[in-house]
Chain A
Amino acid sequence: DQQVKQNSPSLSVQEGRISILNCDYTNSMFDYFLWYKKYPAEGPTFLISISSIKDKNEDGRFTVFLNKSAKHLSLHIVPSQPGDSAVYFCAATNAGKSTFGDGTTLTVKP
């Protein structure tokens, strides 16, 4: 029973276009949501987060949207750059405990 799901294992986007990564969750008790980025042979690094009381958070080229009624969040990257190519993990937290999705591999083609 996976509480956080990233249904697209991979995504390929042209440089300059928008990348949209999606994440669905089932536990309504989650109070904080985060996106992490991971390069090969490295640990995940924090990218952007959003509290459950908000519906949007923006940081430069990265925007996270939260739809609580649909239990869905998404990460928008615009414009996408080749250096954005990595695995992106969605995570949700409740009382300090984090649950991660299985990741989406983003490839940005020059």
Chain B
Amino acid sequence: GAGVSQSPRYKVTKRGQDVALRCDPISGHVSLYWYRQALGQGPEFLTYFNYEAQQDKSGLPNDRFSAERPEGSISTLTIQRTEQRDSAMYRCASSIRWGTQYFGPGTRLTVL
């Protein structure tokens, strides 16, 4: 079956613009996670959902970052008023429930 997909794969935006990053998890996976990964570092937890409920958003850096999963499947991570420090690889993962996480290929965000 299809794995986790993310779109776009690359996003270049100007400082101050809003961006929306999409994650399409593996069908039937209950849990969905968002991570940010800087070069040379491991994935850094941002937030996660079980079904449509956001369970933990303690990793979101500030209130410019938000995420939703309205129907318990596809999720969108939105960054408002982007800043250069937001540039990173944003990764999504899904799992059956608190189990092994399957990662998508990531979205490389560059804020100019």
What interface size band does chain A fall in?
20 to 34
Within 8 A of B (CB), among A33-81: 34, 36, 41-46, 49
A87 smallest CB distance to B (angstroms):
9
Cβ-neighbour of A96 out of B42, B44, B50 (below 8 A):
B50
- Proximity string of chain A (79-92) to chain B, C-beta cutoff 8 Å, 1 when within and 0 when not: 00000000001010
Indicate if the CB atoms of A97 and B106 lie closer than 8 Å.
no
**In this assembly, does B22 line the interface, its C-beta being within 8 Å of a C-beta of chain A?**
no
- Knowing A96-B48, A100-B43, A101-B42 are in contact, say whether A45-B56 is a contact too (CB < 8 A): no
Cα of A11 to Cα of B44 in the assembled complex, Å: 23
Indicate if the CB atoms of A43 and B104 lie closer than 8 Å.
yes
- Proximity string of chain B (68-112) to chain A, C-beta cutoff 8 Å, 1 when within and 0 when not: 000000000000000000000001010000101111111000000
Residues of B contacting A43 in the complex (Cβ-Cβ under 8 angstroms): 4, 91, 93, 103-106
Indicate if the CB atoms of A89 and B43 lie closer than 8 Å.
yes
Within 8 A of B (CB), among A8-46: 32, 34, 36, 41-46
Indicate if the CB atoms of A98 and B33 lie closer than 8 Å.
yes
Closest A residue to B104 using CB positions: A43
Cα of A21 to Cα of B35 in the assembled complex, Å: 23
- Knowing A44-B103, A96-B48, A98-B101 are in contact, say whether A89-B91 is a contact too (CB < 8 A): no
**In this assembly, does B27 line the interface, its C-beta being within 8 Å of a C-beta of chain A?**
no
Indicate if the CB atoms of A96 and B55 lie closer than 8 Å.
yes
Indicate if the CB atoms of B42 and A89 lie closer than 8 Å.
yes
Closest A residue to B95 using CB positions: A96
Binding site for A on B (CB under 8 A): 4, 31, 33, 35, 40-45, 48, 50, 55-56, 58-59, 91, 93, 98, 100-106
